[in-house]
Amino acid sequence: MEDYPTDASKEEIEIAETFLNKVLDLFDQTGNIEILRREEGTILDLQGCTSPGRLIGEEGSTLYAIQVLATLIICRKTQNPTNVIIDVNGYRARRRRQLEDMAWRAYDRVQGTGESVVLKPMNAGDRRVIHMTLSECEDIETFSIEEDVDTGMKCVQISLRDSEEFEEEEFADEALPEEAPDDEGYYEDKNNDDEVGEQS
């Protein structure tokens, strides 16, 4: 197994496993914890859960909350930053592909219309994927805007660089297609479609 500088320590992994087993009990779930060492960090992937959608939440909201709690607990116990990443059934990789596709479709819209596009509110991790995906495009800029005071989520605005102020447009996300029908409600945007409508 290849070693990475971002590998979590044995102590970090044990703390995370204890926490995740409590999460499984809380959600009345069964599953196995698979440990994957990747360049971005050590992933603890909950596999074989009876209802993975409950642990992921709508567009990853529950998984994001679990990640925040796991990070806080590990950092508090070890007094060090951690590179432990929590996942459920490989959701993060699928979500990343979805976000990258959304970023490029929004980029094409900005290029084609000259108008700024505003993506719907998302958490910090999802916004980072959008920013990184388009970071090498010299003709556009991306901004995080309009923070929701209740959720902390922000929209991402994509605009032509050094452009005049354009009318902004909202850009709809797509639902993840891979999950079983019983869990679809946890992933889908209830107003999901692939059309772009003008913001009021």
pLDDT higher than threshold 90 for residue 179: no
Please tell me the CATH code under which domain 93-198 is placed.
3.30.1370.50
More confident site: 189 or 24: 24
pLDDT higher than threshold 60 for residue 173: no
* CA proximity to 134, closest of 143, 122, 145, 125: 143
Instruction: Please state the domain extents for the chain.
Output: 10-89, 93-198
Q: Which residue has the tokens 């929701």?
A: 148
- Residues contacting residue 55 through CB under 8 Å, at least 6 positions apart: 23, 27, 29, 46, 49, 62, 63, 66, 88
**Helices assigned H by DSSP within the chain:** 10-26, 52-56, 61-78, 91-113, 124-133, 184-187
pLDDT in tens, 10-46: 999 999 999 999 999 999 999 999 999 888 889 999 9
Q: Which residue has the tokens 């772009």?
A: 196
Is the pTM above the cut of 0.75?
no
* CA proximity to 12, closest of 67, 68, 81: 81
Q: 10-89 domain in CATH 3.40.718.10?
A: no
Chain mean position to CA 195: 22
